[in-house]
C-alpha cells in the first residue's frame, strides 16, 4: 500500500515556490522602476550621460542582487555565508584593481566637476590637444597634429589642467628686441601703432607695449593684444609680421645674440 500524500509538506513547499516567484517578479519590476527613477534624477541634475548610465545600471543590479538573496532566503538557504564570500571577493578585486579604481574615481570627479568638456582645447599631463571623449577610466585627446591619445583619468585629474577654451577671449603676446642704437621713444611709438592697427584686436580692450629690460644684445619689448579665442593664432602671426615690417621700415635693427672673442 502506497504512503499517504503529505498535503501539508506539499503546501509548505508550494508556498515557498510561489513566494520566491512573487519575490523575483517584484524584484524585476522594482529594478526597472529604480533604474528609471535614478535616470530621471540624474537627467534633472544635468549629469553627464556616461555617469547617468553607470549610476542607473548599478542601482538596477543592486536591486537584483538583493532580490536574489531574498529568494534564496525564502528556501531557507543561509545567505550570510554568501555575504562573507562576496565581501572577500570584493576586497580581493579591489586590491587587484587598485589602479583601475583610481582611474574610475578620477573619471567620476571629472564628470561631476567638469573642468573641461568634449571639444575643449586643453594642456594636461604633458599632452596638448582637443578633448574627444571623457570616459569613466580614461580621456581621449586628439592632438593638434591629429594623433589620438588615451590618457588615464588619474593622470588627468591629479595634474594641473589648463583649459584653453574656457574663456571667449585670449591675449596674444610676443617678445621682440630692438637695437641699442634705436631711440626708445621712437621704438615705442612704432610698436604701439602695430598693436593698435592689429586686425584682430578687441575694440574694448587696449593693447600693451611694455619695455621689458636691457638684454645682453638688445632692448627687450613685450607686445600684448586681446582677441577672440578663435583668432588667437592669426592675431599672433599678424603681430610678428607687422612688428618686423614696421621696425625694418624705420631702419631699426632686430639684433640677435653675438659672441665676441678678444685675444689677450
Here the CATH number for the domain that contains residue 46 is: 1.10.287.1260
In this predicted structure, which of 45-49, 102-106, 134-138, 254-258 has the lowest mean pLDDT?
45-49
DSSP one-letter code for 216 = S
- Say if 239 falls within a structural domain: yes
Q: What angle separates helix 49-74 from helix 98-113, to the nearest 10 degrees?
A: 130
- Residue at grid coordinates 612688428: 243
Domain presence at residue 107: no
Residue 132: pLDDT band with limits 50, 70, 90: very high
The rounded Cα 201 to chain-centroid distance in angstroms is 30
CATH number at 149 reads 2.30.30.60
pLDDT at 104: 80
Distance, in Å, from the CA atom of 82 to the CA atom of 25, rounded to the nearest integer, reads 22
**Residues 150 and 201 grouped into a single domain:** no
Note whether 229 and 158 are same-domain residues.
no
Q: Of 37, 69, 96, which residue is a domain's last?
A: 96
In this structure, is residue 219 part of a structural domain? yes
Specify the range with the lowest mean pLDDT, choosing from 25-34, 185-194, 229-238. 25-34
Per-residue pLDDT tens digits for 144-171: 999 999 999 999 998 899 999 999 999 9
| Inside any domain, residue 264 | no
Domain of 235, CATH number, reads: 3.30.70.100
Please indicate, yes or no, whether residues 158 and 193 belong to a single structural domain of this protein: no
pLDDT grade, residue 2 (50/70/90)? very low
Residue 140 has pLDDT above 90, yes or no: yes
Query: Would you say residue 81 lies in a domain?
Result: yes
Mean pLDDT of 175-182: 93
Does the structure show a pLDDT above 70 at 187? yes
147 and 224 housed in the same domain: no
Average of pLDDT values for 21-38?
84
The answer to the question of residue 119 being in a domain is yes
Please check the confidence at residue 190 and state whether its pLDDT lies above 80: yes
- Which of 53, 69, 96 is at the close of a domain? 96
Same domain? 89 vs 40:
yes
- Domain assignment of residue 263, yes or no: no
Share of the chain above pLDDT 90, in %: 44
Confidence of residue 97 (pLDDT cuts 50, 70, 90): very low
- Whether 173 and 158 map to the same domain: the answer is no
What element of type H or E holds 51?
helix 49-74
Q: Averaged over 112-118, what is the pLDDT?
A: 88
**Residue written as grid cell 582611474:** 103
Least reliable range by pLDDT among 78-82, 104-108, 249-253: 78-82
Residue 72: per-residue pLDDT: 75
Q: Residue 80: its pLDDT value, please?
A: 65
Give how many domains the chain has, as a whole number.
3
**Same-domain pairing of 186 and 227:** yes
> Does a structural domain hold residue 47?
yes
CA atoms within 13 Å, Cβ hemisphere of 183 = 5
User: Do 54 and 82 fall within a single domain?
Assistant: yes
Same domain, 29 and 72: yes
Q: Is 133 found in the same domain as 195?
A: no
Sheet holding 208-214, edge to edge: 169-178, 219-228, 208-214
Query: What would you report as the CA-atom Rg of the chain, rounded to the nearest whole angstrom?
Result: 34
Range of the domain at 157: 114-163
Question: Cell numbers at residue 128, please?
Answer: 596638448
Mean pLDDT across the stretch 78-83?
62
How far apart, in whole angstroms, are the C-alpha atoms of residue 252 and residue 187? 8
Residue 135 and residue 88 share a domain: no
Task: Answer yes or no: do 65 and 13 share one domain.
Answer: yes
The count of residues in the chain is 264
Q: Is-contact 162 218, C-beta < 8 A?
A: no
- Rounded to two decimals, the pTM is 0.62
Q: Pick from 61, 96, 131: which residue ends a domain?
A: 96
Amino acid at each position: 500500500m502506497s504512503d499517504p500524500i503529505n498535503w501539508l509538506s506539499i503546501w509548505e513547499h508550494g508556498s515557498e515556490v510561489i513566494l520566491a516567484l512573487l519575490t523575483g517578479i517584484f524584484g524585476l519590476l522594482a529594478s526597472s522602476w529604480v533604474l528609471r527613477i535614478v535616470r530621471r534624477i540624474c537627467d534633472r541634475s544635468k549629469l553627464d550621460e556616461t555617469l547617468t548610465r553607470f549610476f542607473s545600471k548599478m542601482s538596477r543590479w543592486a536591486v537584483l542582487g538583493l532580490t536574489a538573496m531574498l529568494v534564496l532566503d525564502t528556501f531557507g538557504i543561509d545567505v550570510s555565508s554568501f555575504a562573507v564570500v562576496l565581501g572577500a571577493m570584493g576586497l580581493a578585486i579591489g586590491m587587484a584593481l587598485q589602479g583601475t579604481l583610481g582611474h574610475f574615481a578620477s573619471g567620476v570627479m571629472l564628470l561631476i566637476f567638469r573642468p573641461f568638456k568634449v571639444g575643449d582645447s586643453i594642456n594636461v599631463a604633458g599632452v596638448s590637444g582637443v578633448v574627444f571623449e571623457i570616459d569613466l577610466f580614461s580621456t581621449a585627446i586628439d592632438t593638434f597634429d591629429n594623433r589620438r591619445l588615451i590618457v588615464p583619468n588619474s593622470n588627468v585629474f591629479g595634474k594641473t589642467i589648463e583649459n584653453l577654451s574656457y574663456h571667449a577671449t585670449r591675449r596674444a603676446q610676443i617678445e621682440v628686441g630692438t637695437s641699442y642704437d634705436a631711440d626708445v621713444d621712437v621704438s615705442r611709438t612704432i610698436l604701439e601703432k602695430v598693436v593698435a592697427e592689429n586686425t584682430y584686436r578687441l575694440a574694448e580692450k587696449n593693447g600693451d607695449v611694455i619695455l621689458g629690460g636691457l638684454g645682453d644684445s638688445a632692448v627687450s619689448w613685450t607686445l600684448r593684444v586681446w582677441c577672440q579665442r578663435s583668432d588667437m593664432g592669426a592675431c599672433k602671426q599678424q603681430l610678428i609680421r607687422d612688428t618686423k615690417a614696421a621696425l625694418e621700415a624705420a631702419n631699426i635693427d632686430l639684433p640677435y645674440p653675438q659672441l665676441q672673442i678678444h685675444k689677450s
